[in-house]
Every structure is written in C-alpha cells, then in structure tokens.
Amino acid sequence: MKTSGIITGLRCSTLRQFDDPSTFNLVTANALEKFTKPPRSVKMLARDFIEDSLYNPNYGYFSKKATIFDWEEEPLDFYALRDSVEFDAVVTKRYAAYEAEKQLWHTPTELFKPWYGEAIAQCLVSEYLLKYFPYEDFIIYEIGAGNGTLASNILDFLRSHYPQVYDRTHYTIIEISGNLVEKQKRKLHRTHPGVKVVHKSIFHWDVREPAPCFFLAMEVIDNFAHDVIRYDLDTLQPYQGYVTVDKNGDFDTLYTKVDDPLITSFLQLRDQLRHPLPISRIFQSTPFVRRLYRSLPFAANLSKEEYIPTRLLSLLRTLRNHFPRHRLLLSDFSSLSDTIPGVNAPVVQTRVQNVMVPCETLLVHQGAFDIFFPTNFERLRDMYEHILSQPLSPRVSSDIPDRSTPLSSSVHSITLGSFFSSHEALNRRSPLDGVSSASGLPVGERMSSVFKHSEFLETYADLGRTVLRNGENPMLDFYKNVKFLF
C-alpha cells in the first residue's frame, strides 16, 4: 500500500492506531550515543539501527556483550595434533573455558597466532622494503584491532626479523570500542610503547596522513552497517528502509523514496560501474511482464530486501580523502550461511548456552545480537578503484615510487619504453598529481586485486608452522569463505 510517498513493509504491522510512525522522532546512530537504553517512539534508517545495535557505547553489542576469543597461553603446537578433528577438540575445550552466556567469536588472527599475524607482517614489510625503505618511515594504521593481537604479532615479527624497519615503524590503531581501547593499550604498551591507540570511529576521522602508509582492515567490514533498499515493482524506483520502534519497543519497517545522500551516492556509483540490480533483466526491460506479475493475487508491490554497503562506501571515501597515499590490505567474509532473507543479507545471531542461534530478521533487540554481512570483493574492488580515481583536493604533492604486489600474475618489470608509451596500462591507476618515481616521471599505482584466503597465505605465510601430523593445514583449510583485497 502506498500513502504519501511511504510504502509500508510487507510484514504484519504491530503499530497501533495511536502509534503513527509519522509522529516518531527521526534519529541517527550518532544522536543515540548519549542514550543509556534503546529508544522508543523513534524511526531511523536501517544503517543507523545497525550501528546503534552494534556500537552504542552504553548498550551496543561490541560495547557490552562481545568477547573476542583470546588464547593467552603459548602458541599452539600444531604438529603435536593428529588431525583437524583433534584441532577442533582443542579449540572447543578452550572455548568452554569462557562463560556460557558471553557473546564469543574467533578470528584467524587468534586461532593461528602468531603465524597468521606474521604472514600479514611479511606482506607489509615486503612492500615497504621494495618501495619506501630507507627514504620513508613504515607507517601502519589498523581499524577494528580487537584484542590487539594482530598488532602485537606484526610488531614482534618486525622487531625480531627486521630491526631496522622496526625502529622506523609507526603503528596507529583506530578503535571505536572503549573497552577494546583499554585492552589494546594493556597488551601493547608493555612491549611496544610506541603504539598509538585512538578511541574514535573511522567514520569520524578528520586528520590527513600525507605520507605513504599501509591501512589494515582485517575482519572488520563485515560489521559495517548497511542500508536496506527495495524496488517498486511497477516503476523500478528504489525505496529506502527505515526501522521504527513504537512506545512498547515493538519493531516495524517502512519505505520511502530515496533521498538520503549516502544511499543516493551508492546507487549512482553502482550505476556508473554497471553493477546489476537484484532484479531479473527481463523484469527490468519488459513492463508487460511487470504488469502481468502485479496482476497476480497477493503479488508483492516491492522487491525483496537488498542490503547495500553504504558504510563501506564511507570508508573508501575516508581513505581517499585522509590517507591519499595509502596501500589497503583488507580481509573478510565473501559469503555466509544462515543469513536472513534478502539480497546480500546479514547473519543475525546470538549465543545461548555456548550455542550460536541464528535469527530470521534484522529487527532484534539492540545490543543483544551480532549482525554481520558478506562482501562481494569483486564489486568492492571496482568501487575502491573508482573512488581512488577521483581528483584529490587539496592536491597532494610528494615523491613516491611505484608499487606492485608479488601476488598479481600480471606484474611485469617496467621497461624504459613503458614510461613513454601513450597508452596507459589497464592495471594501473592514474598517477597522483605531483607524485613521481625515482626517475622523476609520474607513475600510477598498481590496481588492487582480490585473492582467496589460501592464495594470500601460500604467498606470505610460513605454512610449516601450522601443519598437523597427518599433513592437514587448518590455517589454509579453514576460512574458505574469506578473501583478501590487496
């Protein structure tokens, strides 16, 4: 049903007659940060509901509920384990040591420390030595650093294997969770007092880093908030989703024509990149088919929900504007099981008596559930490269050599003739204004590439450290639904 530009959700509404959503206050996650309990009689965009649920400093999931699995013991002796079954049993036993009602999850950094972190370190230092040493310091930024384990493993590795690089390393963590900030400081400042931990959301970052740097986002973008879009099946016009909360705390959804600037920007970018809509081409191109479908009894007036990564777009813009000479290393889930209905939908789950219980709706009590999304890495790469191709303002001027990655099969030596070619290589970005190579000629950055989890580790990890007695390697075999962008 359409009324005054608003399309109500297809779920049965729980709103009473006197709970008219048009009278609810429109709020944002930023405005809710001062609330000590979830609000009532409000409405907000889906991304604000997700951000409030996960990151509210007073009742958010990561602020109050979540615990990252942390092996405080010595690194696991993988070769002492017979096979993956025994490895699973060891992990399960250590899990059982945590309180049953804690919201607990693990990461490859924790499961395979320090070897996983050392693979990340080897990747970064290889690029640094190839491109910047000894003329630039080794500058690393990390967001969502969890327990601080990855930072600790990277810095330990540099100090042991590359002491000259370690002496020139500047490591900054940008962390939104106050609890994790304190934990990171306790872990890192004992052994690496030079680490800087900034208690801030990356979306509020306002300091420009003019120097070449590396930017790490490991297992963090899956918890970036998404917006919900549905399409009018008569006109194919997009509508943006709001979550409403009535005075009793009951949830509902409503949809209005898109007018949010961030959602509009994402949809425009997707159109520019020619990424397809989640609607069949025949349905899009043939109005007759749409009319025929709409004439069916009980036919929906809106397409199914699509979850679009608007906060990921915000991150890419932040990188472009405030870290203009960065190199991004990002890893996360490329697919997930047990998702709620919809396109690119998240997993919504909570832990009950040591068992993770998935839900079938986004509309759950704020702070009690984890909400995490898969990422289409190929589309992410397209978005990232397009945003980096946009002009910088103000202009950045400095000397910086070309970068490449040993992972790319297309890496070739740069010949003298290539500098004078009138044809720009397809796998290179346009050069930044004022950026030149050692020869003084402008160069473009090598475009980023997408790699499977195993491909990345086979390139940079010391795989012999995580082999079980029967030859299995859980660091390679686990996390098959994870990819890297580098």
* Backbone phi, psi, residue 94, to 5°: -70, -35
Domain span including residue 270: 1-391+449-480
Contact criterion met (CB below 8 Å) for 174 and 141: yes
Q: Which of 349-358, 425-434, 476-485 has the highest mean pLDDT?
A: 476-485
Residue 165 has pLDDT above 50, yes or no: yes
In terms of pLDDT, which residue wins out, 308 or 439?
Answer: 308
Give the confidence band of 225 by pLDDT, cuts at 50, 70, 90. Answer: very high
* Backbone phi, psi, residue 436, to 5°: -140, 165
Measure Cα distances from 40 to 15, 34, 43, 472 in Å. Answer: 12, 14, 9, 52
Residue 236 has pLDDT above 70, yes or no: yes
Lowest average pLDDT, out of 134-143, 158-167, 299-308, 459-468, goes to 299-308
**Residue 460 domain flag:** yes
Give the confidence band of 394 by pLDDT, cuts at 50, 70, 90. Answer: low
Q: What pLDDT sits at residue 422?
A: 37
Pairing of strands 25-26, 2-3: unpaired
Q: What pLDDT sits at residue 70?
A: 67
* Mean pLDDT over the full length of the chain: 84
Q: What pLDDT sits at residue 107?
A: 84
CATH code: domain of residue 369? 3.40.50
**Residue 191 domain flag:** yes
d(CA 230, CA 238): 6
Burial of 86 from C-beta contacts in 10 A (0-12 / 13-18 / 19+): middle
Give the confidence band of 320 by pLDDT, cuts at 50, 70, 90. Answer: very high
**Residue 468 domain flag:** yes
**Residue 440 domain flag:** no
146-164: pLDDT as tens digits: 889 999 999 999 999 999 9
What mean pLDDT is predicted for residues 298-316?
91
Percentage of residues of the chain with pLDDT beyond 70: 80
**Residue 401 domain flag:** no
d(CA 231, CA 297): 19
Residue 84 has pLDDT above 60, yes or no: yes
In terms of pLDDT, which residue wins out, 235 or 441?
Answer: 235
What mean pLDDT is predicted for residues 422-434?
54
Residue 308 has pLDDT above 80, yes or no: yes
Give the confidence band of 179 by pLDDT, cuts at 50, 70, 90. Answer: confident
**Residue 422 domain flag:** no
Q: What pLDDT sits at residue 419?
A: 32
Q: What pLDDT sits at residue 7?
A: 42
Q: What pLDDT sits at residue 431?
A: 60
Domain count, the chain: 1
- 212's tokens: 């070449």
What mean pLDDT is predicted for residues 426-452?
61
Q: What pLDDT sits at residue 299?
A: 67
Residue 390 has pLDDT above 90, yes or no: no
Lowest average pLDDT, out of 163-172, 287-296, 341-350, goes to 287-296
Percentage of residues of the chain with pLDDT beyond 90: 61
**Residue 17 domain flag:** yes
Residue 345 has pLDDT above 80, yes or no: yes
Contact criterion met (CB below 8 Å) for 457 and 476: yes
* Backbone phi, psi, residue 61, to 5°: -55, -50
**Residue 240 domain flag:** yes
